[in-house]
Every structure is written in structure tokens, then in C-alpha cells.
């Protein structure tokens, strides 16, 4: 009998320089299997039952570490030091201007040129979960402070995958981490996510400029961005809206309820349901922002088992700070200091919907 509480691990190829990459598996009593690699602390695969009990992979992934290194899709990875964009790849902290990597036009995207998603993390089993650790040197991508990051993945018997983030720095620095999983609950590679029915508990989102930098807050009421009542992604993608044209679909940060900047409770903020399989995903977080991204830039991306991923093959619900929030007036809560570590908790729960 398998002891589901102990993650097992297996070799998963080599990085250039002969560094071995490993794949760890978390299991639960429902037969779910979650595979996580120490390359990028990446959620590589999540096998979950459909309404008939058949296992299917609900996240997009590549077959090899080399494909992860070559890709710009950030599939399933932990993204940092700063997830999403920083406009002009710059910010000012305590009177000093910091210049960051410009890896998307004039802006920084997802941690800059190196990024946590391409790093090899230290991994160890911890009380049934998997703890990943990474050291990021002062000056990496232009950020101040030597930073030590911890990400703990754990899977419970109800199908909830918890991701607990922590980071410490020896000098003040902004930190904003997220997981960049692309979900497709059908479990069928090569399909799109248009049929998924999504709800997001938010009445506001950030409109973006042509470089996808937030420029103003906008209400969702009466337009394509209103997911307070659940709606199929495809129908909403077809709804005329200048913001959907700019981004080629949804690539926008929703403002989650609650005015507290810090110390927020973990609460359910979004759901996605796939009518074909009956699978349902629930997202809970203590963060203020939720980036809803419908895989608009996926373009013949190499997928699992030789499949290819096209536009809208998956969607992401990335919890974190607001994009470019470090350049907003109110941003002290984003600064990690030697006496003030970074914390985040986000949980993805998978099950079969009650009425499926």
C-alpha cells in the first residue's frame, strides 16, 4: 500500500552543466497525483478524477526540463522576484532608484532575464508536503537584498493543493510571487478552455495599456469582465471590448474584495467548472490581486506527450500583488525588510462539481 503522506521523487533529466533535475509526486486518498519539479519549483502535472473517476491531467506542461528552459510560457512555475510587470523596469525605494532587467520591451516581466522559474530549487519532504528553497543574490535582475525564498506544496485528501510562500531579505526589497499554472480541466490535450464556466468574486479590474501595464481601475458591471455570476470563458472572449482586443483575451488583474493590505484571511475568490468532465477548480488566497490570463500568447507551444498548445489551451488564475503595484503610491506593504518577511497562502482545490 502506498503511503500517500510521503512524496516520492525520481530523476527527470539534466540541465546544461549536468545538474540533475528531479520530479516529486504528492498523492492523496482520491488517487490524485501532483508532480512538482525542482526546476522552477514547477507544478508539472496534476492528475485528477473526472465524474466517472477517470484520471486526467488538469494542468498544461512540457515533457522535458529542456522544454521548460526554452519556453516563455512560465508553465506551472513559481514566478519571482516580481510576478507580472514592472513598468519601465524601475522603482524607487528609500530614495534610491533601482534599474531592473528589461525582458519585455522597456518593462520587466516575471522576474527578469533569469527568474525563479528557471532556477534549480532545493527540495525536501516535510511532514507530507514538499518544501522548495531558493537563494536569490542581491542584484539579481537589479533588485536589492539577498533573499531566501521558501515554497511549500501540500495536497490533502479533499483535493486541495496548498502553496505557502515565504521569503526573507537582508535589505528592503519588493517581492511578489505567484504560481503560473495553466489549467484545462477537460484533461484532454489539444482542447481549448472556451467551454469552462468561470466565476471571480470581484467587481473591479485594472484596464491595461498596449504593453499590458495597468493604467486605471474599471468596474466589471455590465461588461465582458463581469464574472460575479459564472459565465463561459468562450462567450466572454467573443464579447466586444477594447480591453479584450488589446490583450488578445483576458490578461487582466482583478481586485479582490477586502480593504486590508496585509494580514488578509485566506478566502475563496474564484471557481472554474468544466461541463464535459464535471471537474471543478476552486481558488482561495490571502492576496489582493488575481490575474486572469486565458493563454493568449500560447502559439504552438510544445505540450505533454507530443501534443501542442494553441491560443486559449489553458487559463491561469495567478494570485499576487497588482502588476506594477511597486510603482503605485501606496506600496509599503509590498516591501520585505529584514524584520518583515514575505508571506502568501494560495490554495487550488479540485473536485467534481456537486451537480456534475
Nearest distance from C-beta of residue 291 to ligand BGC, angstroms: 5
Catalytic residue among 110, 117, 180, 312: 180
- The whole-angstrom separation of Cα 270 and Cα 290 is 9
Match 514566478 to its residue by C-alpha cell: 79
Of the candidates 90, 87, 93, which has an alpha carbon nearest to the alpha carbon of residue 145? 93
Residue 21: partners with Cβ closer than 8 Å, 6 or more residues away = 11, 12, 13, 14, 15, 37, 38, 39, 65, 120
Residue 258 has phi, psi (to 5 degrees) of 105, 135
**Binding of residue 188 to ligand BGC (CB under 6 A):** no
**Binding of residue 293 to ligand BGC (CB under 6 A):** yes
**Binding of residue 346 to ligand BGC (CB under 6 A):** no
Contact with ligand BGC (CB under 6 A): which of 15, 231, 297, 340?
297
Nearest distance from C-beta of residue 63 to ligand BGC, angstroms: 18
**Binding of residue 318 to ligand BGC (CB under 6 A):** yes
The smaller minimum CB distance to ligand BGC, of residues 48 and 253, is found at 253
Residue ranges in 239-258 that form contacts with ligand BGC under rule CB under 6 A: 251
- Cell triple for residue 285? 488566497
Nearest distance from C-beta of residue 304 to ligand BGC, angstroms: 17
**Binding of residue 73 to ligand BGC (CB under 6 A):** yes
E strand or H helix at 10: strand 8-15
Residue ranges in 100-129 that form contacts with ligand BGC under rule CB under 6 A: none
The smaller minimum CB distance to ligand BGC, of residues 4 and 71, is found at 71
- 330 as an active site residue: the answer is no
Q: Are 61 and 303 in contact (CB under 8 A)?
A: yes
Bond prior to 81 in cis (omega within 30° of 0) = yes
E strand or H helix at 173: strand 173-174
**Binding of residue 294 to ligand BGC (CB under 6 A):** no
- 180 as an active site residue: the answer is yes
- The whole-angstrom separation of Cα 89 and Cα 205 is 22
E strand or H helix at 245: helix 242-247
Contact with ligand BGC (CB under 6 A): which of 186, 291, 344, 346?
291
Nearest distance from C-beta of residue 295 to ligand BGC, angstroms: 8
**Binding of residue 184 to ligand BGC (CB under 6 A):** no
**Binding of residue 315 to ligand BGC (CB under 6 A):** no
CA angle 132, 176, 215 (to 5 degrees): 155
Which residues of the chain form contacts with ligand BGC (CB under 6 A)?
Answer: 73-74, 84, 212, 251, 291, 293, 297, 318
Residues catalogued as catalytic: 180, 318
Amino acid at each position: 500500500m502506498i503511503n500517500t503522506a510521503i512524496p516520492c521523487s525520481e530523476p527527470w533529466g539534466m540541465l546544461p552543466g549536468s545538474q540533475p533535475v528531479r520530479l516529486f509526486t504528492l498523492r492523496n486518498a482520491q488517487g490524485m497525483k501532483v508532480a512538482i519539479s525542482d526546476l522552477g519549483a514547477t507544478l508539472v502535472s496534476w492528475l485528477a478524477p473526472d465524474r466517472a473517476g477517470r484520471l486526467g491531467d488538469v494542468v498544461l506542461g512540457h515533457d522535458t526540463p529542456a522544454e521548460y528552459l526554452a519556453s516563455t510560457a512560465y508553465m506551472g512555475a513559481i514566478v519571482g522576484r516580481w510576478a507580472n510587470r514592472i513598468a519601465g523596469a524601475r522603482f524607487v525605494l528609500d530614495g534610491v532608484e533601482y534599474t531592473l532587467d528589461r525582458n519585455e520591451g522597456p518593462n520587466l516581466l516575471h522576474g527578469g532575464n533569469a527568474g525563479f522559474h528557471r532556477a534549480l530549487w532545493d527540495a525536501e519532504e516535510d511532514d507530507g508536503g514538499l518544501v522548495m528553497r531558493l537563494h536569490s543574490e542581491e542584484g539579481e535582475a537589479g533588485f536589492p537584498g539577498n533573499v531566501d525564498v521558501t515554497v511549500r506544496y501540500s495536497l490533502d485528501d479533499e483535493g486541495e493543493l496548498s502553496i505557502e510562500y515565504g521569503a526573507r531579505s537582508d535589505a528592503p526589497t519588493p517581492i511578489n510571487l505567484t504560481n503560473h499554472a495553466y489549467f484545462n480541466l477537460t484533461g484532454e490535450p489539444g482542447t481549448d478552455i472556451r467551454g469552462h464556466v468561470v466565476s471571480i468574486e470581484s467587481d473591479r479590474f485594472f484596464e491595461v495599456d498596449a504593453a499590458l501595464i495597468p493604467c486605471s481601475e474599471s468596474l466589471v458591471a455590465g461588461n465582458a469582465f463581469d464574472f460575479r455570476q459564472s459565465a463561459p470563458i468562450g462567450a466572454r472572449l467573443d464579447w466586444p471590448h477594447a480591453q479584450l482586443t488589446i490583450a488578445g483575451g483576458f490578461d487582466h488583474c482583478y481586485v479582490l474584495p477586502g480593504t486590508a493590505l496585509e494580514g488578509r484571511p485566506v478566502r475563496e475568490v474564484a471557481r472554474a467548472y468544466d461541463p464535459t468532465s464535471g471537474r471543478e477548480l476552486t481558488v482561495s488566497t490571502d492576496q489582493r490581486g488575481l490575474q486572469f490570463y486565458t493563454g493568449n500568447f500560447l502559439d504552438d507551444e510544445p505540450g505533454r506527450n507530443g501534443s501542442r498548445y494553441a491560443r486559449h489551451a489553458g487559463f491561469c488564475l495567478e494570485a499576487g500583488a497588482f502588476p506594477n503595484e511597486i510603482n503605485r503610491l501606496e506600496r509599503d506593504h509590498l516591501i520585505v525588510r529584514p524584520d518583515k518577511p514575505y508571506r502568501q497562502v494560495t490554495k487550488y482545490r479540485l473536485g467534481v462539481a456537486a451537480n456534475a
